Structure 1
Amino acid sequence: MLTATLAFAGVAAIINITPGLDTLLVLRTSMAHGRAGGTAAALGILTGCLAWGVATAIGLTAVLTASRFAYDVLRIGGAVYLACLGASALWRARRPDLRQETGQEADAVPPTPQDRWAAFRAGLGTNLLNPKAGLFYMSLIPQFIPQGAPVFGTTLLLTAIDLVELALWYWIVSYAASALGERIRRPSFRRRLEQFSGVAFLGFAANLALHDRA
């Protein structure tokens, strides 16, 4: 059991630190709203991962492979949601800013409760509406469950390990990104960040919409 657990922790760590949608979301939110915003986004993602882990433990994620309709509905819904996030980021990048015109730097603005809630919702939505996240848990975790081990309890244990690793990784990303955001407060930088994030979100949306399950 210990060997399987350590092996899973190593594989999951490599996958977790690979740049992807969730890391981009935490990075962008941390640079825009500081560590509080990045933490809120990370909590949303972790909540989604927990939900997928529990669903895997009780067998619900098997529906994604057994039913093409269920998979496609979730896939299209996720693509639309990501497209909305991308369009919203590009729209914010177009908004005029007087400080940009005068060459002044933007002051750091602490995130409001609404900002934190929006970041949490974004993290939760991008995770729960991504069927590939469910397939990740369903395809990876069972490979590390030793023969004879209780499936439900072992699945929850491996899910907990994955969540701890993700929390640590997002803390590092959020800390570094928020520190950089504090140093670079120019409106032009924030505008470029929104533009990059918007294009990236649209790219993830297209990838999710156009790619069938493997």
Structure 2
Amino acid sequence: MENFYLFLVMCVLLIILPGPDTAIATKNTLISGRTGGLKTVIGTCCALLIHTLAAVVGLSAIIVKSAFVFSIFKYAGAVYLMYLGVKTLWALRSKHKDHWADTEEVHAAKGTSFFKQGFLTNLLNPKVAVFFLTFLPQFVDAGAATFMPFLAMGITYILLTAVWFLFYIYLLDHIRAFMNKPKPQTIMEGITGTILIAFGIKLALEKAY
């Protein structure tokens, strides 16, 4: 593996850049505190592990090179993000004092877990597959076997993602008392829902590489 420290720096910069995973983690942390955020991040990391294994065995190349397969993942991911965004905005219409607690109970009753949201948001994003296939090879020696380097870099990326989101979730949890006041909460719900819809539209308009 070449330039491992440069790889670490690039990973950190990419991870802290806000995206759909951050939006989902933010929403669920504000809904259910630390527990909701942690379950979401575990789902995200499990999806990243699948992306890593897919890159190792070459499945990511199929997704990237096949416009049809890429489109399936792209539109499924876009629809799911927009669904979560619309659902968040719709909650504003039926808002009441204990809305977040009630919403969490409804989610649990329907089997819609925070883990599932984090998992599907990341797994159905074809840009993650493209990232692994285009980013990781830049740090592998020319002509060298890719299995172990890809696996090591993928696991490193997952660990860095987990560390960052743990910090982010604990920070959000500390300011959650303020955010749960009626006005800030309404603003955050509106912003988060709008961002999720925007990410969904952006993903739907993405072209295969």
Distance 1:4 1:117 in 2: 41
What is the identity, as a one-letter code, of the residue corresponding to 2:148? G
Distance 1:140 1:203 in 2: 25
State the match for 2:179 in structure 1.
Answer: 184
Q: CA offsets per residue over residues 133-176 of structure 1, 9 Å max, x none? A: 11011110011112354311110100111011101110111011
Map 1:70-81 to 2 at 5 A: 70-81=69-80
What is the identity, as a one-letter code, of the residue corresponding to 2:181? R
Report deviation, 1:8.
Answer: 1.2
Number of equivalent positions: 206
State the match for 1:28 in structure 2.
Answer: 27
Q: Alignment partner of 1:54: what SS?
A: helix
State the match for 1:39 in structure 2.
Answer: 38
State the match for 1:211 in structure 2.
Answer: 206
Shift in CA distance, 167/96, structure 1 to aligned 2, threshold 3 Å: closer
State the match for 1:102 in structure 2.
Answer: none
The percent of aligned pairs where both chains have the same amino acid is: 27
Shift in CA distance, 9/188, structure 1 to aligned 2, threshold 3 Å: same
Q: CA offsets per residue over residues 64-108 of structure 1, 9 Å max, x none? A: 2221100011111111111110111011121131x3xxxxxx699
State the match for 1:48 in structure 2.
Answer: 47
Q: Alignment partner of 1:212: what SS?
A: coil
Q: 2:151 aligns with which of 148, 156, 159?
A: 156
Q: Alignment partner of 2:113: what SS?
A: helix
TM-score, structure 2 as length reference: 0.90
Structure 2's unaligned 5+ residue stretches are none
Distance 1:119 1:35 in 2: 11
Instruction: Report if the CA contact (8 A) 1:31-1:180 is conserved.
Output: no
Distance 2:112 2:95 in 1: 25
Q: Alignment partner of 2:193: what SS?
A: helix
Report deviation, 1:24.
Answer: 1.9
What is the identity, as a one-letter code, of the residue corresponding to 1:40? K
Q: CA offsets per residue over residues 11-55 of structure 1, 9 Å max, x none? A: 111111111111122122212211111001111111111110110
Structure 1's unaligned 5+ residue stretches are 100-105
Report deviation, 1:212.
Answer: 1.1
Distance 1:90 1:31 in 2: 14
Distance 1:154 1:68 in 2: 27
CA RMSD of superposed structures (Å): 2.2
2:130 maps to 1:131: no
Instruction: Report if the CA contact (8 A) 2:64-2:129 is conserved.
Output: no
2:140 maps to 1:145: yes
Instruction: Report if the CA contact (8 A) 2:74-2:203 is conserved.
Output: yes
